[in-house]
């Protein structure tokens, strides 16, 4: 049978069924989707592939899902480091955004972010930023999968001035992308402290009509919770409950401040949580109770946050940090096993974004979004368990190949749809502009 791809690997880790690891198997891809997963010898007998890839020392895994980031902010990597969240945002990031964020800023920042993510095995990201239509079009041009946020915030920005304009531009983006296989859309209200009740109510009505996810920063810091109580007489989580935002469409990011009652409500509602451990650590925001959430049955995914507060988009590294941190916070070395961590970085992220039936596992019928990790290197030997090696020893530099919908976007560490030298040159240009502007802000 003639097919597009036969990808043979030493190990294939499909994520579904849970805990499965197939040795010396092959993934068959045709028309951008997974057609078969079977022993390599049988695959060679049954299929005649136009393209073949032999990964003798590799694990083939589902593409990683970065369930929360601000892609264009990669151009701000390293600006105003080592400052508390409020000072970092209000005194540096927001003033720089007001001055510089534009279509060209977002285009160049998204290109840089996608290049970094592809080289780290990421095949899908959930974005929240201004000029989302620019980000969406860049994804289509490059071949990257993304869930693009229709951002909502109460203050005017370079992209929109009023609530009506934010909604109008967001809905125009939704209409433009509704038939695009690589790009989906969802609402992205920034946070309870930056979005008013009327905007939340209007958004929730539209989200129900469009059946799309809602991503929001929630309970990121103790200060946010305290301010919410002062301003509204209740915790932000309770406020979103009363506004009917809590539900299976909700993607709640950070969640470092949670009570047992809130965890139970999350589980009952079917909402998802995105854990961004390295951003939370760097900004001293607190610790997400991942083990308690998982025990309660909450879907927990992995996100990097933006590179301005992380300072990278390394989902594999983020997953290792999440696994180790969960053990320390729970006081239990078994709190977050390697297989569970890998699921958080793949299928759980896909499910949070409403894409669990399309990506997140190497299952027949799903899109062929996958990444190859070379485990035959000094840093990963000797190898006793490929999943353990993947989570606790391997790094993003061991990612050799990436496919999105069967399209080979990273081939032996080389990007196939992006010009690396051009991206570096444009990024350097933005460094000069942003550094000069940040110095002016400080003075």
Residue-wise pLDDT for 280-326, tens only, equals 999 999 999 999 999 999 999 999 999 999 999 999 999 999 999 99
Give yes or no: residues 307 and 287 share one domain.
yes
Residue-wise pLDDT for 343-359, tens only, equals 999 999 999 999 999 99
Give yes or no: residues 90 and 212 share one domain.
yes
pLDDT attached to residue 94: 87
Range of the domain at 403: 2-62+367-412
End-to-end CA distance of the chain: 68
Has residue 426 been placed in a domain? Answer: no
CA distance 189 to 166: 10
Give the pLDDT band of residue 436 (cuts 50, 70, 90).
confident
Residue-wise pLDDT for 84-95, tens only, equals 878 888 888 989
Structure tokens at 165: 């304009």
Q: Where are the alpha helices (DSSP H) in 283-363?
A: 290-296, 315-330, 338-344, 347-352
CA distance 59 to 383: 12
CA distance 165 to 353: 25
- Alpha-carbon separation of residue 267 from 156, 165, 248, 264, 356 (angstroms): 35, 34, 9, 5, 18
Structure tokens at 62: 């589902």
Torsion sign (Cα): 68, 73, 75, 80: negative
Structure tokens at 237: 């989580």
Given a contact cutoff of 8 angstroms between Cβ atoms, the answer to whether 186 and 212 are in contact is yes
Give yes or no: residues 167 and 206 share one domain.
yes
The strand pairing partners of 280, in sequence order, are none
Structure tokens at 400: 């050799």
Residue-wise pLDDT for 207-225, tens only, equals 999 999 999 999 999 999 9
Residue-wise pLDDT for 402-418, tens only, equals 999 999 999 999 999 99
Has residue 436 been placed in a domain? Answer: no
Q: What is the 3-state secondary structure (H, E, C) of 144-179?
A: CEEEEEEEECCCCCCCCCCHHHHHHHHHHHHHHHCC
Give yes or no: residues 28 and 172 share one domain.
no
Give yes or no: residues 29 and 169 share one domain.
no
- Backbone Cα Rg of the chain: 21
Structural domain count of the chain: 2
CB proximity list for 318: less than 8 A, separation 6 or greater: 276, 277, 278, 302, 303, 304, 345
Give yes or no: residues 244 and 256 share one domain.
yes
- For residue 187, the SS3 value is strand
Give yes or no: residues 220 and 84 share one domain.
yes
Q: Where are the alpha helices (DSSP H) in 211-244?
A: 222-232, 236-242
CA distance 85 to 219: 13
Give yes or no: residues 149 and 132 share one domain.
yes
pLDDT attached to residue 283: 92
Percent over 90 (pLDDT), the chain: 93
Structure tokens at 176: 């433009």
Give yes or no: residues 264 and 334 share one domain.
yes
Q: What's the whole-number average pLDDT of the chain?
A: 97
- Which runs of E-coded beta strand occur in 356-395? 370-374
Give yes or no: residues 283 and 313 share one domain.
yes
Question: How is residue 92 annotated by DSSP?
Answer: I
Q: What average pLDDT does range 235-248 have in this prediction?
A: 98
**Phi/psi at 81 (nearest 5 deg)?**
-70, 160
pLDDT attached to residue 84: 80
Contacts 24+ apart (CB under 8 A), 195-204: 195/152, 195/153, 195/154, 196/154, 197/239, 197/243, 198/163, 199/152, 199/154, 199/163, 200/240, 200/243, 200/245, 201/243, 202/163, 202/167, 203/152, 203/167, 204/243, 204/244, 204/245
Give yes or no: residues 29 and 156 share one domain.
no
| Cα atoms in the Cβ-side hemisphere of radius 13 Å centred on 420 | 10
Q: Given a cut of 90, is residue 139 above it in pLDDT?
A: yes
- Conformational region of residue 121, where left means phi above 0, alpha means psi within -120 to 50, and beta covers everything else: left
Give yes or no: residues 288 and 252 share one domain.
yes
The pTM (predicted TM-score) of the whole model is 0.97
């Amino acid at each position: 049978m003639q097919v597009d791809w036969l990808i043979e690997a030493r190990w294939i880790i499909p994520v579904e069924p849970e805990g499965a690891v197939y040795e010396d198997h092959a993934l068959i891809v045709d028309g951008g989707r997974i057609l078969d997963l079977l022993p390599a010898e049988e695959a060679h007998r049954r299929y005649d592939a136009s393209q073949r890839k032999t990964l003798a020392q590799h694990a083939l895994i589902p593409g990683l899902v970065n369930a929360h980031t601000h892609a264009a902010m990669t151009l701000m990597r390293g600006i105003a480091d080592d400052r508390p969240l409020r000072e970092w945002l209000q005194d540096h990031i927001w003033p720089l955004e007001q001055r510089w964020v534009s279509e060209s800023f977002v285009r160049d920042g998204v290109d840089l972010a996608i290049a970094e993510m592809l080289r780290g095995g990421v095949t899908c990201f959930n974005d929240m930023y201004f000029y989302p239509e620019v980000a969406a079009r860049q994804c289509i041009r490059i071949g990257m999968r993304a869930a693009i946020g229709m951002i909502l915030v109460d203050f005017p920005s370079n992209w929109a001035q009023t609530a009506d304009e934010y909604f109008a531009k967001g809905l125009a983006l939704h209409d433009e992308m509704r038939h695009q296989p690589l790009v989906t859309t969802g609402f992205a209200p920034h946070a309870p402290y930056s979005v008013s009740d009327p905007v939340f109510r209007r958004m929730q009505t539209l989200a129900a009509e469009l059946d799309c996810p809602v991503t929001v920063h929630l309970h990121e810091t103790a200060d946010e919770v305290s301010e919410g109580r002062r301003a509204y007489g209740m915790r932000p989580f309770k406020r979103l409950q009363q506004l009917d935002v809590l539900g299976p469409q909700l993607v709640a990011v950070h969640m470092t401040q949670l009570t047992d009652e809130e965890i139970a409500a999350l589980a009952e509602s079917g909402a998802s949580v995105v854990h961004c451990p390295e951003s939370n650590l760097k900004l001293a925001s607190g610790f997400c109770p991942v083990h308690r959430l998982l025990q309660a049955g909450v879907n927990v995914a992995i996100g990097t946050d933006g590179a301005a507060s992380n300072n990278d988009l390394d989902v594999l590294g983020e997953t290792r940090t999440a696994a180790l941190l969960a053990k320390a916070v729970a006081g239990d070395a078994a709190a977050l096993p390697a297989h569970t961590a890998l699921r958080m970085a793949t299928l759980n992220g896909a499910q949070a974004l409403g894409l669990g039936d399309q990506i997140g596992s190497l299952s027949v019928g799903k899109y062929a979004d996958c990444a190859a990790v070379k485990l035959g290197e000094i840093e990963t030997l000797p190898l006793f368990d490929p999943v353990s090696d993947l989570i606790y020893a391997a790094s993003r530099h061991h990612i050799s190949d990436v496919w999105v919908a069967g399209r080979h976007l990273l081939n032996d560490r080389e990007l196939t749809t992006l010009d690396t030298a051009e991206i570096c040159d444009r990024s350097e240009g933005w460094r000069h502009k942003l550094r000069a502007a940040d110095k002016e802000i400080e003075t």
